[in-house]
Structure 1
Amino acid sequence: MALGDSSDSDFEELVAARWDSWARLATLLAGGPQDAEDFLQSAMVAVYAKWPRVRRADRPDAYIVKVLVNTIVSARRRAAVGQAKLKVVGSAQPWTDTTDDDVDRLDLWAQVRQLPPRQRAVLVLRYYEDMTVRETADLLGCSEGTVKSQSSDALRTLGRSGVRLSSGEEREPGT
């Protein structure tokens, strides 16, 4: 594919329009901004290599999100092999000027970052991206039952860690 093709401009337009949204998603899935941009760029390289086929898909954006999620989950899974998980006990700097809601959000985020990659992906897609169980399952390439069990396991883990979940963060299974 030569630079300057109309297919290149289609790719560039889609990337320009969706980059910020994908970057936020990558940050949530990666556990922070440090690796998020690298993962996003890796996903874009993979998509660009297949762009002539991807652009003909019904929903190229959904395909790109799937590549991004799979890139991050796979990398995190490989990185976790052989590494002991460290639990962060506290912060070196005291908190100032924060409300209880801010502290709760930060505590929740710290705990979400400790979840296994697939559980984190399910929570981010279901509750941040507001996807249904079916949409999440389609994106992750798994069954709806797997999405429900991963979500349940993740929420149970968060609950055991002492994180308060408000009723607004809970959903009926299957919705």
Structure 2
Amino acid sequence: MGTVADESCGAEFHEFFERHYAELARLAYLLTGDTDGADDLAADALVAVWHHWDRVRAADHPAAYVRGVVANMARSRIRSAVRERRRIALFWSQSSERTDGPDIPVVIDVREALRRLPFRKRACVVLRHAFDLSERDTALALGISVGTVKSQTSKATAELQRLLGTSTTTELVGGRPRWTI
């Protein structure tokens, strides 16, 4: 039988979960580009947070802390996927004939452009523009300085302009609307 404090803590976490799960799943999707894995990633992050809920709820910005957990887990999953792709590519390149043909996409959409950005740039631009976080909140979520957020967001925006064109990028980040990707 649980104590009143345990029940209160559980209810508080449940409320936090209900309030932030969809946002965390969306963040995971924008960082990884994997629809199915995004829900799992958000759930895994919340399970990890539950194990340390006393510390997390005492933090100045619990939601920012959990966004950082999602970002770190996404980074780990991306790195694992890249390593796996390299192993598969190495295996197949040794066992089959290679054909080099141009791989030119007809249309580059926003999600594809985001996937092309390095993780930190992608995380900064997604948190700043898709989630409309301040530079300070983005820095808190990613565990980096505000100056790094500014430079990475600027570089990411320039890269998106190169990939998508100036008018599309201005439409997405110029007026700082919340993206609904």
- TM-score for the superposition, normalised by structure 1: 0.74
d(CA) in 2 for partners of 1:138 and 1:62? 6
CA deviation map 1:107-132 (0-9, x unaligned) = 12221122111111111101011112
1:83/1:158 Cα in 2 relative to 1: closer, same or farther (>3 Å)?
farther
What is the Cα-based RMSD across aligned positions, in Å?
Answer: 2.9
SS at match of 1:131: coil
Secondary structure, aligned partner of 2:58: coil
Distance, in Å, in 1 between the alignment partners of 2:115 and 2:21 is: 22
Whole-angstrom CA distance in 2 between matches of 1:8 and 1:145: 37
Write the letter of the residue equivalent to 1:139: A
- Please tell me whether Structure 1 or Structure 2 has the larger radius of gyration of its CA atoms: 2
* 2:20 aligned counterpart, secondary structure: helix
Amino acid at match of 1:21: E
Instruction: Give the Cα–Cα distance (whole angstroms) in 1 for the partners of residues 172 and 164 of structure 2.
Output: 17
Q: What is the letter of the counterpart of residue 117 of structure 1?
A: F
Percent of aligned positions that are identical: 37
Q: Contact 1:23–1:40 at 8 Å: present in 2 too?
A: yes
Please identify runs of 4+ aligned residues in structure 1 that moved more than 6 A. none
Structure 1: where are the runs of 5+ without partners? 92-102
The answer to whether 1:170 aligns with 2:177 is no
Q: How does 1:25-174 map to 2 (within 5 A)?
A: 25-81=27-83, 83=85, 89-90=104-105, 107-163=109-165, 164-166=168-170, 169-170=173-174
Partner Cα separation in structure 2 for residue 139 and residue 32 of structure 1:
21
What is aligned with 1:16?
A: 18
Q: CA deviation at 1:150?
A: 1.4
If each structure's helix is expressed as a fraction of its own residues, which one has the higher value?
Answer: 2
CA distance in 2, matches of 1:140, 1:54: 15
Q: Give the TM-score, by structure 2 length.
A: 0.72
2:64–2:140 CA contact under 8 A, matched in 1: no
Query: Mean Cα displacement is larger for which, 149-158 or 163-172?
Result: 163-172
